[in-house]
Amino acid sequence: MVAPKFRRILLKLSGEALMGDDAYGINTPMLNSIVAEIKGVADLGVEVGVVIGGGNIFRGMAGVATGMDRATADYMGMLATVMNGMALSDAMRQAGLSARVQSALNVDQVVEPYIRGKAIRYLEEGKVVIFAAGTGNPFFTTDTAAALRGAEIGAEIVLKATKVDGIYTTDPKKDAAATRFACISFDEVIHRNLAVMDATAFALCRDQKLPINVFSIFKPGALLRVVMGEDEGTLVHV
């Protein structure tokens, strides 16, 4: 059997990915489908870290739009990611996959605090590590958390799971002639002003020479194909 191209990955999973076709909350079939995709690569010996978002439960900027203080709204969003992390961990347990949730906020009664050395040890033991609560700071997105945790744990690549199967020349929902980039450099992304991650996360990945792959988590087998190095999604490289 062909060996995976990547041995340690950081998967950035949005809270919205857990909703499926629902308006909010967690769609159980979608949750189980994502877990099956992760288990498929973990069973190959790939070490998997996951940064989970919280937009399906509470999006900080939505709170700001109603007049809420930005820092308060962001902390509420971080707590939403802890809830998603717990749900993801439980689904993994039921699927026979060992997982640990580590939070950047101290909520010791429900999940572990984030400790870099312990996270790396869990990965080496074959456990999936779910990083919740973003960076633990307001004003930073979970994209930035993914770039930061990816660099900290020595991931070989950050995989951004979205609803779109890559980066396109224009919006494929509005332009039928839009074409997908198989790969593109960090500099060209900046030159073309393409949206990949927020600016802080993107700059951190570029500075650390940490490649990014943008792919659709809704395509069956897409995560496995990315890990195997096949033409799936869009690879952003130095």
- Is 59 annotated to bind a ligand? Reply is yes
- Is 171 annotated to bind a ligand? Reply is yes
Please enumerate in sequence order all residues whose Cβ is within 8 A of that of 221, keeping only pairs 6 or more positions apart, or say none.
Answer: 37, 40
- Is 139 annotated to bind a ligand? Reply is yes
- Is 137 annotated to bind a ligand? Reply is yes
- Is 113 annotated to bind a ligand? Reply is no
Answer whether 9's CB lies under 8 Å from 46's CB: yes
- Is 55 annotated to bind a ligand? Reply is yes
- Is 13 annotated to bind a ligand? Reply is yes
- Is 58 annotated to bind a ligand? Reply is no
The pairs formed by 197-204 with CB atoms below 8 angstroms and a separation of 24 or more are 197/143, 197/144, 197/146, 197/147, 197/160, 198/141, 198/143, 198/144, 200/140, 200/141, 200/143, 200/144, 200/147, 201/141, 201/143, 201/144, 201/146, 201/147, 202/143, 202/147, 204/144, 204/147, 204/148, 204/151
- Is 202 annotated to bind a ligand? Reply is no
- Is 220 annotated to bind a ligand? Reply is no
- Is 114 annotated to bind a ligand? Reply is no
- Is 7 annotated to bind a ligand? Reply is no
- Is 117 annotated to bind a ligand? Reply is no
- Is 12 annotated to bind a ligand? Reply is yes
State the binding site. 12-15, 54-55, 59, 74, 135-142, 162, 168, 171
State the binding site for UMP. 54, 74, 135-142
State the binding site for ATP. 12-15, 55, 59, 162, 168, 171
